[in-house]
Copies of this chain bind each other. A is one copy, B any other.
Amino acid sequence: LDYQHVQVPFEITLWIMLASLAKIGFHLYNKLPSVVPESCLLIFVGLIMGGIIYGLNDRSPPVMDSDIFFLYLLPPIVLDAGYFMPSRPFFENIGTILLYAVVGTIWNVFGIGFSLYGICQVKAFRLQDVSLLHNLLFGSLIAAVDPVAVLAVFEEIHVNEKLHILVFGESLLNDAVTVVLYTLFRSFCEMPTIKSMDVFAGVGKFFVVGLGGVLVGLSFGFTAAFTTRFTKDIRVIEPLFVFLYSYLSYLTAEMFHLSGIVAIISCAMGMKRYVEANISLKSHTTVKYFMKMWSSVSDTLIFIFLGVSTIGENHEWNWPYICFTVIFCLIWRALGVLVLTFFVNRFHVNTITSKDQFIIAYGGLRGAICFSLVFLLPDFHRKKLFIAATTVVILFTVFIQGMTIRPLVDLLAVKRKRESAPTVGEQIHIRFLDHLLAGIEDISGHWGQYYWKDK
């Protein structure tokens, strides 16, 4: 028996197998997935697995390695999200999405950070040693809505397209803000004094990280589109290029500390139209199916690992801090959505209804990104408290919010996604109106969205 020799691939294969079998298992009982979201079930499986490992070995099970998460598990999901992003609603709402993603996330980071600092001043809680900077750092990692968790829940509740793209787009694009604020506060924590210069550099860095990500992504995307022009004779490796270039864009962005998520999304959205025209139909089916398969497996593994990593002894249970974290996460998100939507609605004809606002605020699920970031924190004496708080916030949002959002959507009668594809007549009308509005905008000299879409 030579287990050492095959250990690495064998264990990876077994984990993936476990994940796939768990998925099959849930679907055998048709009633279960309609009540409990799959993500909750998977975390539950992970908790059981973690408990078994903990019981057998008598020590904490291995936590999800942040490197594995960011380098191998996250990219397939984001690639899938970017490649199948419905581009029309996305670009129609890009302003609102960016507002939520950038201003909303900054609002949450500072709101949560400062109010938790306030809590730390209460002597009875014995938290006076947690500095403002540490609270802000914690805020920067806990504030971001998680695309994986959002996708897992929103794919099952079928809300209308606009609502879906608002929450999901925000969860993707806030990565740039998270990357900047997280690295900024982390380096501030290690600096002896902070000059005002550093703060301005941070603001400038945000544009570098975000726009740099877009630039890296687009350049790889167009290279991919160009490469697929030459694959007529060897159809068999066409799908490969889609995956290789997207992954390279992600890795390159990560290498330069840009936003990898923004890069891979730009890459996927940039190349999609050209690649689809160049590659054969069968290659396209392969790309589509493999992307879906890969992201589904990654997603499953992430939730299982989340569960496994929760078990163990690296938590410090200071309940006041943890409870207030959950409460502040909810309050600041609700406030942020209300204030931002107030401004958005003043400039739009299609306003966001108060029901939609509630779902946007309530759909702010946290997930594996926070979890990986908190483990990446430099060692300091309160790290275990932050880990515990993050774990509780994730479990609270995924379990409580994730399980109640579907009944709430039913209760509030939120507008659902239409099931059928638009008829030819509808398509013609939509196209006709687009051209008409572009013409009107052109005549009136107003450069609106239709003008740009027509370009």
Contact = CB atoms under 8 A, between A and B. Distances in A.
Interface of A: 1-3, 5-6, 8-10, 13-14, 16-17, 20-21, 23-24, 27-28, 30, 67, 71-72, 227, 230-231, 233-234, 236-237, 239-241, 244, 247-248, 251-252, 254-257, 282-283, 285-286, 289-290, 292-293, 296-297
B231 A6 contact: no
Contacts of A6: 71, 251, 254-255
B234 A24 contact: yes
Contact of A285 (B1, B16, B286, B292): B286
B257 A2 contact: yes
Number of copies of this chain in the oligomer? Answer: 2
A2 B16 CA distance: 29
Contacts of A237: 20, 23-24, 293, 296-297
A282 B237 CA distance: 18
A27 B255 contact: no
A144 B227 CA distance: 38
A17 B247 CA distance: 11
B289 A239 contact: yes
A293 B297 contact: no
Contacts of A247: 9, 13
B248 A20 contact: no
Given A6-B71, A256-B1, A236 B282 contact: no
B13 A227 contact: no
A247 B10 CA distance: 9
Contact of A290 (B10, B251, B286, B292): B286
A67 B2 CA distance: 13
Contact of A289 (B1, B255, B286): B286
A2 B255 contact: yes
Contact of A1 (B5, B244, B255): B255
Given A9-B251, A24-B227, 14 more contacts: A2-B255, A2-B256, A2-B257, A10-B248, A10-B252, A13-B247, A17-B244, A23-B237, A236-B296, A237-B293, A237-B296, A240-B293, A240-B297, A283-B289
A24 B251 contact: no
Please provide the 10 A-B residue pairs with the shortest distance between their CB atoms, ordered closest to farther. A286-B289, A27-B233, A6-B251, A236-B292, A10-B251, A6-B255, A285-B285, A20-B237, A24-B230, A286-B286
24 contacts: A2-B254, A2-B255, A2-B256, A5-B67, A6-B251, A6-B255, A9-B71, A14-B248, A17-B244, A17-B248, A20-B240, A20-B241, A24-B227, A24-B234, A24-B237, A27-B230, A30-B233, A237-B293, A237-B297, A240-B293, A282-B289, A283-B289, A286-B286, A286-B293
Given A6-B71, A247-B13, A293 B255 contact: no
A24 B236 CA distance: 11
Residue among A17, A20, A72, A293 facing the most chain B CB atoms (10 A cut-off) = A293
Nearest to A6: B251
A290 B9 CA distance: 19
A20 B296 contact: no
Contact of A293 (B8, B28, B236): B236
Contact of A244 (B20, B251, B285): B20
A116 to B, nearest CB: 30
A13 B293 contact: no
Nearest to A289: B286
A227 B289 CA distance: 19
Nearest to A235: B289
A368 to B, nearest CB: 18
Nearest to A296: B236
Contacts of A227: 21, 24
Nearest to A67: B5
Contacts of A296: 236-237
A298 to B, nearest CB: 12
A216 to B, nearest CB: 13
A27 B237 CA distance: 12
Contacts of A27: 230, 233-234
Contacts of A254: 2, 5-6
